[in-house]
Chain A
Amino acid sequence: MIHLYAFARNLTTLPAVRGIGGGPLETLAVEDADAVVSRVPKSDVSQEAILQHGLVVEALVDRCDGVVPARFGERFADDEALRAAVERLRPSVGERLRDLDGCVEIAVRVLDARERDSPSPTDGRGYMRAKLGELHERDAVAEALHVPLEREARASIVTPPCAGAVVHDGAYLVPRAGLGTFQDRVDKYAGAHPELTVLCTGPWAPYSFAAGTEVAA
């Protein structure tokens, strides 16, 4: 099987990292981008494979002008199937490369790990109201962070937090030139909220902003 990692524009040379299962990385030219693939002996959805996929994509970022990451699990039976899919995706990939030009993805997560001293509800509605109240509280805290960050980003995706400690889970598409300002805003927010856990990672390849370039399963 052939596993697809990403499309890369103006890739200089392939990085020295191996593909899933240890096979070498290969490229298939697609107009002004290369599809980066490797051959895998069998279907492998282990955690090791998932991590390796990510490491390959990250290794590409500094070696080319732009990366459109493929989601994990895009696989093809043979060269023919790969070629056909890539042909079909060519316009979307081109479009996406233009949209993402010069940008990287920054991930910002905020957690509120504080113990909640709420009285235990006796009835169902009380429980639901309490849970909804918690959600709304978290929303307000997240807004205070998200609004200034959104201004520094070309695009953003906020994943709705579930009923855990997560207050905010955002992916931001930030132009490289604006990374400093973006980082400052995050740090400022963190400083203003020492009671919260704030995690900011990046720069990542723009996984969250590659919509429209997925191969139908």
Chain B
Amino acid sequence: MTAGAVGEKLLSAQGDLLGVARELEQVRDAFPRRVRADPETVERGLAQLVLTLIELLRQLMERQALRRMEQGTLDDEQVERLGQTFMRLAERMDELKEEFGLTDADLNLDLGPLGNLL
């Protein structure tokens, strides 16, 4: 079975497929792969990799915290501190993205790597 034939497995699709692709890529892009960079943009390539991982971990932590909050195993002060931290983390992520000239699309990364599997 070829990679092309996998396309037949689409049973129904409605709406923002690009958005779905980006959600799915979040995991795939934590994997080992070739990080391409030229002398001018090597920092950017590294930043892209690191920020993707940080974003993944941030979401994991936030969700863990929300679950604990739901279960009622956190007191008010803990919830307050967690909320403040996550807000700060989100702000910091925005700052870092701006510093390196990266967009959300860059972090969830391009569909390029799959295209290279041709």
In the complex they form, whether A and B have CB atoms below 8 Å apart is answered with yes
The chain A residues found within 8 Å of chain B, CB to CB, are: 15, 17, 45-48, 50-51, 55, 58-59, 106, 109, 111, 113, 121, 123-128, 131-132, 135, 160, 162-166, 183, 186-187, 190, 194, 196-204
Q: Which of these binds chain A: B5-13, B37-45, B46-54, B93-101?
A: B5-13
In the complex, residue of chain B having the shortest beta-carbon distance to the beta carbon of A201: B9
A residues less than 8 Å from B70 (CB atoms): 132
Is A190's CB under 8 angstroms from B23's CB?
no
Task: Please name 6 pairs of A and B residues whose Cβ atoms are closer than 8 Å in the assembled complex, sorted by A.
Answer: A51-B117, A58-B1, A128-B66, A128-B69, A197-B19, A199-B20
Give chain B's interface residues, CB within 8 Å of chain A.
1-3, 6, 9-17, 19-20, 23, 26, 28, 31-33, 59-60, 62-63, 65-67, 69-70, 76, 79-87, 113-114, 117
Complex Cα distance, B24 from A162, in Å, reads: 12
Cα–Cα, bound, A131→B61 (Å): 13
CB-CB nearest 5 A-B residue pairs: A124-B83, A197-B15, A124-B84, A59-B1, A127-B83
Closest B residue by C-beta to A17 = B1
Q: Which residues of A contact B33 (CB under 8 A)?
A: 46-47
Instruction: Indicate if the CB atoms of B87 and A127 lie closer than 8 Å.
Output: yes
Contacts of B10 in A (CB 8 A): 199-201
**B85 proximity list for chain A (CB < 8 A):** 124
